[in-house]
A and B are shown apart, each in its own frame.
Chain A
Amino acid sequence: MATTVGVVVFPGTNCEMDAVTAVEGLGGSGRLLWHGDDDLSGVDAVVVPGGFAHGDYLRPGAIARFSPMMGAVARFAADGGPVVGICNGFQVLTEAGLLPGALQKNRGLKFLCQPATLRVETTASALTGRASVGDELSVPINHFEGNYTCDDETLARLRDEDRIVLRYVDNPNGSMDDIAAVCNEGRNVVGLMPHPERACDELLGSADGAILMASLLAAA
């Protein structure tokens, strides 16, 4: 049986089919999960994809985290299930308290839509098990609120516990310590601002995201 990756859809999500297509291109099976449902039966891994959940009203992710599906995702994560939040999905996971810190507006005044080079910092996460430390991957970013921030104590813990999963080689948005991705203590929940699902085929300019999506499938 193919590994089934559930992809959460909120009103305003717009990257769900990119995620499903990437998963299916790697031999997995994608299943859309409506935010108002709470059934994760048969799902082996979860992607919270990008977009503008609930119009980003109040703050990105602030309203999405109250969806019934996010309660189910939190229970799935607590049981060790692999969960990856991409872009707006990362914002949702921080608002839900599944990951530390927050994403503030980019250091410059611009919405950024461009390739970014990412360095793999640890392979002990649901997103990087198939990669190698030091790998440099070209993966697009597409965000206005992607500037990762947290308090000093949290940053020290993230460093000490090897929970900074990816760093930008050339920091585009002001993120603290060049952070592009972090994971939780269990290492099964990962959030990242770049879009690996949009970099799974050379036709799209890069296939470097495939190793990250393949790692998620392998972690399931």
Chain B
Amino acid sequence: MEFDVLVDVRLRGGISDPAGATIERALPALGYDGVSGVSVGKTVRFTMEAADEAEAAARAGDLCASFLTNPVIEDAEVTVRPADG
């Protein structure tokens, strides 16, 4: 089966996020008050062949831990669902 995988990579708490800080600082000038906690991460999407959803989730988790994220500075949330027909 084919599965669509979405990996949402975020900087861990306490890790410097200049892009998020810059966006947050710009918001009041644009009239958007009261917005806080802006953080910028990245998403990685791919399709993966696997026997079932559990195997796809396990392989995607391995890929994420070994390559797509650096666990010293990043966390990730992995979402797996069957690919559209």
**Using a CB–CB distance below 8 Å, which chain A residues touch chain B?**
58-59, 62, 94-95, 101-102, 104-109, 147, 149-151, 174
Contacts and interface: CB of A to CB of B under 8 A. Distances in A.
B73 A104 contact: yes
Nearest to A151: B72
A147 B11 CA distance: 14
A150 B18 CA distance: 19
B19 to A, nearest CB: 8
A59 B16 contact: no
Interface in B1-57: 11, 15-18, 21-22
B70 A107 contact: no
Given A109-B21, A109-B22, A174 B16 contact: yes
B2 to A, nearest CB: 23
Contacts, number: 32
A168 B18 CA distance: 22
A149 B18 contact: no
A179 to B, nearest CB: 14
Nearest 5 A/B pairs, CB to CB: A102-B72, A109-B18, A105-B16, A102-B73, A104-B16
Contacts of A106: 16, 18
A200 B42 CA distance: 39
A147 B21 CA distance: 16
Interface in B47-83: 67-68, 70, 72-73
Contacts of B70: 59, 62, 95, 102
A105 B40 CA distance: 13
A150 B68 contact: no
Residue among B22, B67, B72 with the highest chain A CB neighbour number at 10 A: B72
Contacts of B68: 58
Nearest to B71: A102
Contacts of A101: 72
B22 A149 contact: no
Contacts of A102: 70, 72-73
B16 to A, nearest CB: 5
Contacts of B16: 104-107, 147, 174
A187 to B, nearest CB: 21
A106 B22 CA distance: 13
A104 to B, nearest CB: 5
A104 B15 contact: yes
A131 to B, nearest CB: 28
Contacts of B22: 109
A149 B67 contact: no
B67 A62 contact: yes
12 contacts: A59-B70, A62-B70, A101-B72, A102-B72, A102-B73, A104-B11, A104-B16, A105-B17, A109-B18, A109-B22, A150-B72, A174-B16
